[in-house]
């Protein structure tokens, strides 16, 4: 149960500002490999493949290029880091503009239970409600959700988020259940 207590008052324990990042070695290594595979495929197409090549030899460089391009695009356009400050949360990407959301504008936190599970942040921007989604597969998601919940006490939560948030009320229930066993 030590992990439950680590998530309580996480902003006090870890301090602000703080960042959560996708593993940079894996991200840049994957980008390098995908770029190398695309370059190799282009080289194969223009130097080795000709009309006399088998259909398999003509097809393989295009398949390699497609898979490498898919991996490259996923890595440069997916969420790279999340930064917490005392005034806002900022979501950063490698190849697209980041998104800054102020704590006082966040109204609701929920789970989008589609094919790709995402956390939705409902917030106000220019008097209109907006929705920002980020993947639940991001590293240290429990810490991130609990940090957001701590900094946005007035926000609403769906059933999933309520079950994930660790606060004094939920730990009292856990302690009560542990003592009954």
Same domain, 119 and 173: yes
Same domain, 105 and 31: no
Are the C-beta atoms of 134 and 82 separated by less than 8 Å?
yes
Same domain, 106 and 176: yes
Are the C-beta atoms of 132 and 123 separated by less than 8 Å?
yes
| pTM over 0.85, yes/no | no
Are the C-beta atoms of 7 and 142 separated by less than 8 Å?
yes
SS3 of residue 108 by DSSP: strand
Determine the Cα angle at 20 with ends 37 and 152, to 5°: 135
Same domain, 47 and 118: no
Q: Which of 37, 52, 76 is the last residue of a domain?
A: 76
Would you state the structure tokens that stand for residue 126, as one six-digit string?
């220019």
Same domain, 99 and 63: no
Same domain, 45 and 99: no
Same domain, 115 and 61: no
pLDDT band at 120 (very low <50, low <70, confident <90, very high): very high
Same domain, 96 and 156: yes
Average pLDDT, the chain: 89
Which residue range forms the structural domain that includes residue 12? 2-20+84-180
- Provide the 8-state DSSP code for 20: E
What's the first-to-final CA gap in the chain, in angstroms? 14
Same domain, 128 and 40: no
Distances (CA, A) of 63 to 50, 55, 60, 66: 16, 12, 5, 5
Bridge partners, residue 134, by sequence:
119
Same domain, 67 and 101: no
Number of domains in the chain: 2
Report whether pLDDT(4) > 90.
no
pLDDT band at 1 (very low <50, low <70, confident <90, very high): very low
Same domain, 65 and 123: no
Same domain, 65 and 132: no
Report whether pLDDT(174) > 80.
no
Report whether pLDDT(124) > 70.
yes
């Amino acid at each position: 149960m030590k992990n439950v207590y680590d998530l309580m008052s996480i902003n006090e324990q870890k301090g602000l500002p703080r960042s959560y990042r996708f593993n940079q070695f894996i991200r840049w290594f994957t980008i390098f490999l995908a770029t190398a595979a695309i370059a190799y495929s282009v080289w194969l197409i223009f130097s080795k493949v000709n009309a006399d090549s088998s259909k398999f030899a003509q097809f393989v460089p295009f398949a390699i290029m497609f898979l490498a391009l898919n991996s490259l695009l996923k890595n440069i356009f997916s969420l790279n880091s999340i930064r917490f400050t005392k005034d806002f949360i900022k979501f950063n990407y490698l190849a697209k503009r980041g998104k800054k959301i102020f704590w006082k504008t966040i109204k609701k936190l929920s789970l989008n239970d589609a094919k790709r599970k995402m956390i939705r942040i409902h917030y106000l921007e220019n008097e209109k409600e907006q929705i920002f989604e980020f993947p639940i597969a991001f590293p240290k998601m429990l810490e991130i959700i609990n940090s957001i919940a701590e900094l946005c006490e007035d926000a609403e939560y769906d059933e999933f988020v309520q079950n994930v948030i660790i606060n004094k009320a939920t730990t009292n229930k856990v302690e009560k259940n542990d003592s009954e066993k």
